[in-house]
Amino acid sequence: MATFFEKEMRKLLGQGLIIPEAVFAGRSCYGKLDEDIRVRMEFATERVADHYCALKVTLLNRKEGPIDSMLLRFSDVLGKKQTANPNFREGIVPHIWKDGDKFAWYVYQPTAADYKALADEVNSYTSMFQKEDMSQGMGSMTL
């Protein structure tokens, strides 16, 4: 049975997130960018326990360990969102919280466009670490 976190990551994959050979383990998603570079993605907290306000993306060299990581905050990518809830007239920054023994988005449920924006940010980041086809960049070089 898929966990809440796996379901949320699958929504990102459904909106264009490219993580080849995605495998889910616990609260993380792993994938293979090339023969040596792997990616791990997980929802992350910052200062508040059980308040998941970001995606942490880590790139790993399968032989040498971590290469780089990035904390993609929902506040930076999605911003403050308006909601019909009168307790949040100024809007709310999307985040996941734990209520009892269940996880859920707090007040605001991201839209397909929100998942797409997150997927695009992760893709931009991971693309910087993938091998380029040498012939692709040769024609655009200027001196």
CA distance readout (Å), 38 to 18, 30, 106: 12, 7, 31
Tokens of 95: 């985040």
To the nearest whole number, what is the mean pLDDT of the chain? 90
Tokens of 1: 């049975």
User: How high is the pLDDT of residue 130?
Assistant: 79
User: How high is the pLDDT of residue 135?
Assistant: 32
Residues 6 or more apart whose CB falls under 8 angstroms from that of 99 comprise: none
Q: What is the mean pLDDT of residues 47-71?
A: 95
pLDDT single digits (tens) 120-141: 999 999 999 877 653 344 344 4
Q: Is the pTM of this model over 0.85?
A: yes
Return d(Cα 32, Cα 52) in angstroms, integer. Answer: 25
Parallel, antiparallel, or unpaired: how do β-strands 51-61 and 37-45 relate? antiparallel
